[in-house]
Amino acid sequence: MKKADGRSGRTNLRNLRTKVKTARGRKLSSTMWLERQLNDPYVLKAKAEGYASRAAFKLIEINEKYDIIKPGDRVIDLGAAPGGWCQVATALTNSTADAPTVVGIDYLEMDPVPGAIILQKDFLDDDAPDLLIDALGGKQADVVLSDMAAPTTGHRKTDHLRTMHLVEVALDFALNVLKPGGHFLSKSFQGGTESSILDLMKRNFKTVQHVKPPASRDGSVELYMLARGFKG
């Protein structure tokens, strides 16, 4: 048994780091990614607590600070795979299989999430918004979440522009489905949010801010845009 660190009461992890050797045919970048995954405390915690991904803790941390999701809320999750945010949303809203108040959409296949309706479909399809509204029972949403990100090309400016396009379409959807007082949370990237998107958010919400939860990796350019208090 490893000796506990008396300062924190937790096991001292400095000597527990898993090293991954580069296998024949495996790129160094892949080896580094695998080693990072094996040693990421959020990955380990997600597995221990039954979450589909470490991203669940990003939403948990944001909600603990800003209280955007409450019991009984209706939530739409864009880019839901692999399901971590849907899991958190169903727990926070007390959504059940008999009366689901959480709807997720993604073109990737994902495991069922008890208490959530999952649509396997590309959100950019023309009929996707109507299908989401129908799945929510034709009612307005209290919260729209978007963890969508375009597949990376390795070219930072291109990746930024593609992701900002997803922010734009998610925001347009949110403006059409949110009830007054509702909230919008969307993944973004460092490098500056397009001024037109920021202006649109500020005109339609009481407060708008960038958020980087502790669960976001230190070296990541990932940020979240949080718009609270939809003016309707």
Instruction: Tell me the sheet residues that pair with 139.
Output: none
The CATH number for 53-230, chosen from 3.10.20.30, 3.40.250.10, 1.10.760.10, 3.40.50.150, is: 3.40.50.150
CA pair distance 46, 84, nearest whole angstrom: 9
CB contact at 8 A, 189 and 221: yes
Q: What separation in angstroms does the CA of 143 have from each of 46, 180, 194?
A: 23, 10, 22
**In the annotation, is 139 catalytic?**
no
Instruction: Break the chain into its structural domains and give their ranges.
Output: 19-49, 53-230
Token pair listed for 131: 């299908």
CA pair distance 23, 200, nearest whole angstrom: 49
CA pair distance 4, 208, nearest whole angstrom: 43
Mean pLDDT per 10-residue section of the chain, whose length is 232 residues: 37 40 48 48 79 92 97 98 97 97 97 97 97 96 94 74 90 98 91 79 97 83 93 94
Q: What pLDDT shows up at residue 39?
A: 53
Beta-strand ranges (E) seen in the chain are 4-5, 10-11, 75-78, 102-106, 116-120, 141-146, 178-189, 205-211, 222-230
Q: Looking at 187, 202, 212, 231, which residue is catalytic?
A: 187
Question: Burial level of 90, CB count in 10 A (0-12/13-18/19+)?
Answer: buried
Q: How much is the pTM?
A: 0.82
Q: What pLDDT shows up at residue 191?
A: 63
CB contact at 8 A, 193 and 182: no
